[in-house]
């Protein structure tokens, strides 16, 4: 199996190289490209997940639907669809860029640092979409109301990036009302 590579970024969010994902997340994690995705259904619910307890970074925290790292040369849409399939068994979704400028730095209890330019994407699926969580990635996956999602952002069992993202998403209204931010403000390192 090939080693998963992350895309390293400079201060202008331009790609400056790659590195192995597993070996790159530590106390001095380099700034790199990632993404977060919120799956919403046609009834306005949001798929919230608990990270698998065996995850190396931030195990067991509650967060958005999925996240990941685009590979070198991979488009953002393709990376999101790959992770939706691999983490949640979701094969198709209507994607939209919501927070293309989002970035954050967070430190886990063990000292591991997340240091990411992390565009946020909404994926809309039919209400009857089957979700099949990959146990290596997801402990639990549940459909929640937007109000419940907002409450989670105020609790310590949520991921740091979830709390920061919800602070920017909440003023936009409920997920069906989120405006399409388009690809213009995505980092130069990735195409839509």
> Would you call 151 a catalytic residue per the annotation?
no
Q: Residue 54, exposed/middle/buried by CB under 10 A (0-12, 13-18, 19+)?
A: exposed
DSSP code string of 90-122: ----EEEEEETT-EEEEE-TTS-EEEEE--EEE
Please pick, among 5, 116, 118, 149, the residue that the annotation labels catalytic.
Answer: 116
- d(CA 11, CA 14) in angstroms, rounded, equals 7
Residue 21 per-residue DSSP state: H
Q: Under a CB-based contact definition with an 8 Å cutoff, are residues 56 and 109 in contact?
A: no
> Would you call 116 a catalytic residue per the annotation?
yes
Please pick, among 5, 37, 66, 67, the residue that the annotation labels catalytic.
Answer: 67
- d(CA 169, CA 1) in angstroms, rounded, equals 37
What lies within 8 Å, CB to CB, of 122 at 6+ separation is: 37, 38, 39, 40, 95, 96, 98, 175, 178
The residues annotated as belonging to the active site are 67, 116
């Amino acid at each position: 199996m090939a080693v998963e590579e992350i895309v390293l970024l400079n201060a202008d969010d331009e790609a400056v190289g790659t590195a192995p994902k597993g070996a790159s997340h530590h106390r001095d994690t380099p700034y790199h490209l990632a993404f977060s995705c919120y799956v919403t259904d046609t009834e306005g619910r949001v798929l919230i997940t608990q990270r698998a307890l065996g995850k190396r970074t931030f195990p067991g925290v509650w967060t958005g639907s999925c996240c990941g790292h685009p590979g070198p040369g991979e488009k953002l849409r393709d990376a999101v669809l790959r992770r939706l399939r691999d983490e949640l068994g979701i094969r198709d979704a209507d994607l939209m860029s919501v927070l293309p400028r989002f970035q954050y730095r967070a430190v886990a209890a063990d000292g591991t640092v997340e240091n990411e330019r992390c565009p946020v994407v909404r994926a809309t699926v039919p209400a009857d979409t089957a979700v099949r969580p990959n146990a290596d990635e997801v402990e639990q996956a549940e459909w929640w109301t937007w109000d419940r999602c907002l409450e989670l952002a105020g609790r310590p069992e949520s991921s740091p990036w979830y709390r920061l993202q919800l602070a920017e998403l909440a003023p936009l209204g409920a997920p069906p009302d989120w405006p399409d931010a388009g690809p213009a403000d995505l980092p130069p390192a990735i195409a839509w």
